[in-house]
Amino acid sequence: MNKERISKILSISLILVFVLSIVLIQKSYANITSSNNTSNIIVNNIEAGTTVSLYQIATVEYDYKANQPKEGYKWNPSIQEWIAEKYPNYINSENFYKEVENNSQEAQTFYDELIAAIKSGAIQMLSYRDLQATGDAQYPVTEDNLTGNVNFEDVEMGTYLVLIENGYMIYTPSVVNLIPRFDENTKQWVLEEQNVIIKATNIGITKTVTDDEKIVDNYSTIDEITYTIEADIPTYLQNSLSKNYYIADVLDPSLTIDIRSLIVYGLKDGQEEKLSRGFNAQYNMQIPNSSETAAFILEFDYDEINKYDELKLIYNAKLNKNADLVVGPEGNKNYAYLNYSNDPYNETSLQTQRTDEVAVYTYGIEVKSVDKDNTQLPGSEFTLYDEEGNEIHFIKGEDGVYYLSDPEEKGATTNVAVDGEGNLYLYGLDEGDYTIKQTKAPEGYKLSNKSYDITLVDEEPDGVLDEDYSLIFSNTKGFTLPVTGGKGTAMIVGIGIMLVVIGVCLLVYKAKKRK
């Protein structure tokens, strides 16, 4: 192959590459025409299953002959009257785009008022298009499950409000400009697809059992249990149509709250401030949109609390000394609800988050009174002692069932009796060392001299003792003298004494006579 031929091939190749590059550029940055005047708006990294809506508030006028946009933009006819009334200086859209900077407070205020007017019906305007984000909704919301996205294809040139609803997060309305841009490289006006970043508030609520002296969630029926609820405060813009925010707390029937102990704090930058206003408290109320009854519901005035980052609620409760008490692995459960407006521009919006269940555990001892043949006996009484040897007090429930109590409590006793079948149940105990002794035997039986040392331990804790205590006290029959204290007995005793005296006298007389 000669040099001339090689040179021709290279020249042709270079021409083909040049032509191909022009074609590719033309494909990527084609001239805007009346048939090629749309592009895409993409919203990523949002909650799956949410509804995303576009509201077209302005359009672009384009000169297709000159192949360039005209000066300024044209407001959507639906909002022109509202703008003329509220912002007359902006009726010329060119003034708005010149005076209002992107992401400025002025821009946020304008769009906040505008979307509120649209959603309230003050402006009669339908959404340009609605789409549901891909995927299934997940709770709680974490960075890992913000997998939802939508792609609005073939969207007309213009300015759009982007509104996201029906999620757990609270999304701030955003604005996207789908407008021509002059490309200096190609010297053409191009319409590029837009990726929208949405600001959102991810709020949550937690509930824990808090006690500086305890490292596990197990208690006795004389302990005071301290609960802590923490909830994030959302961000609502000034013209939001709905700013509902309240916390409801639910306790099992086995728990009773000390209403006087409830304290509310506002937290800002790690600092706590006790709140005495800004909320309304109701007790033993049914939770809205639920069949459950709350121990309390605190409804907050958003304008009073929005200066804080989160709220902290602290209160005390006790386990009940009755049949509602749950002894064992099921535990005595409790949890809290956070109800809030998740779609601030929907007057009826209400989202609910529920904390994980918090369970507190308490324990019990079972005692049986039997004879030597292991037949259960009624009539036994016992006393339980703590590790220092002090008698422990109980309140009686049903026959044979007792609940740990304070000594000062009305009806408190240290003598606990078995039921008619010889069974005794001591409930409401915490972990620790105990000793139990029989203080009264069944009638006709000897008192047992045996005592049991008991150590209650739940290492998990899961409400299941590491060693189950079902104790058996066995009593045997003794003998008794027939001393009833009647007159006949006294006479017999008197005669016996006389006979003894006569016998002694006779022995003395015989002894003297021998001498």
**Which contacts (CB < 8 Å, 24+ apart) does range 60-67 have?**
60/157, 60/158, 60/179, 60/180, 62/32, 62/37, 62/157, 62/180, 64/32, 64/33, 64/34, 67/31, 67/32, 67/188, 67/189
Question: Which of 201, 223, 239 marks a domain boundary?
Answer: 201
Nearest-angstrom CA–CA distance, 71 and 209: 64
- In this predicted model, what pLDDT tens digit does every residue of 375-408 receive, in sequence order? 999 999 999 999 999 999 999 999 999 999 999 9
Q: Tell me, what CATH number does 328's domain have?
A: 2.60.40.740
* CB-CB contact of 36 with 109 (8 Å): no
Decide: residue 511, CB within 10 A, 0-12 exposed, 13-18 middle, 19+ buried: exposed
Nearest-angstrom CA–CA distance, 302 and 486: 85
The predicted pLDDT at position 512 comes to 58
- In this predicted model, what pLDDT tens digit does every residue of 266-301 receive, in sequence order? 999 989 999 999 999 999 998 877 889 999 999 999
Q: Determine, yes or no, domain membership for 14.
A: yes
Strand ordering across the sheet containing 255-268: 205-209, 225-232, 310-319, 255-268, 271-274
Q: Determine, yes or no, domain membership for 511.
A: no
Q: Tell me, what CATH number does 424's domain have?
A: 2.60.40.10
Please check whether residues 227 and 197 belong to one and the same domain.
Answer: no
* CB-CB contact of 217 with 360 (8 Å): yes
The predicted pLDDT at position 503 comes to 61
Question: Which of 158, 178, 201 marks a domain boundary?
Answer: 201
Nearest-angstrom CA–CA distance, 30 and 493: 133
- Its domain, for residue 6, covers 1-30
Nearest-angstrom CA–CA distance, 72 and 87: 17
Please check whether residues 182 and 308 belong to one and the same domain.
Answer: no
* CB-CB contact of 160 with 128 (8 Å): yes
Q: Which of 339, 171, 309, 182 is nearest to 248 (CA)?
A: 339
Q: Determine, yes or no, domain membership for 144.
A: yes
Q: Read off the pLDDT band of 70 (50, 70, 90).
A: confident
Please check whether residues 186 and 85 belong to one and the same domain.
Answer: yes
* Structural domains of the chain, count: 4
Please check whether residues 305 and 226 belong to one and the same domain.
Answer: yes
- Alpha helix ranges (H) inside 295-452: 302-305
- Alpha helix ranges (H) inside 250-358: 302-305
Position with higher pLDDT, 496 vs 10: 496
Please check whether residues 10 and 63 belong to one and the same domain.
Answer: no
- Classify the phi-psi angles of 233: left when phi > 0, otherwise alpha if psi is within -120 to 50, otherwise beta: beta
Please check whether residues 174 and 40 belong to one and the same domain.
Answer: yes
Total residue count of the chain as it appears in this document: 515
Please check whether residues 405 and 341 belong to one and the same domain.
Answer: no
Please check whether residues 53 and 190 belong to one and the same domain.
Answer: yes
Please check whether residues 215 and 354 belong to one and the same domain.
Answer: yes
Q: Tell me, what CATH number does 138's domain have?
A: 2.60.40
Please check whether residues 395 and 462 belong to one and the same domain.
Answer: yes
SS3 content of the chain, % helix, strand, coil (to 5): 20, 40, 40
Please check whether residues 184 and 58 belong to one and the same domain.
Answer: yes
Q: Determine, yes or no, domain membership for 513.
A: no
Q: Determine, yes or no, domain membership for 209.
A: yes
Q: What percent of the chain has pLDDT over 70?
A: 86
Q: Determine, yes or no, domain membership for 500.
A: no
Q: Which of 44, 43, 48 is nearest to 145 (CA)?
A: 48
* CB-CB contact of 396 with 413 (8 Å): yes
Q: Determine, yes or no, domain membership for 503.
A: no
- In this predicted model, what pLDDT tens digit does every residue of 305-345 receive, in sequence order? 999 999 999 999 999 999 999 999 999 999 999 999 999 99
Please check whether residues 330 and 219 belong to one and the same domain.
Answer: yes
Q: Determine, yes or no, domain membership for 506.
A: no
- 475 φ/ψ angles, rounded to the nearest 5 degrees: -115, 145
Overall average pLDDT of the 185-202 stretch = 91
Question: Which of 341, 360, 379 marks a domain boundary?
Answer: 360
The gap from C-alpha 146 to its chain's centroid, in whole angstroms, comes to 21
**Angle formed at CA 87 by CA 84 and CA 93, multiple of 5 degrees:** 80
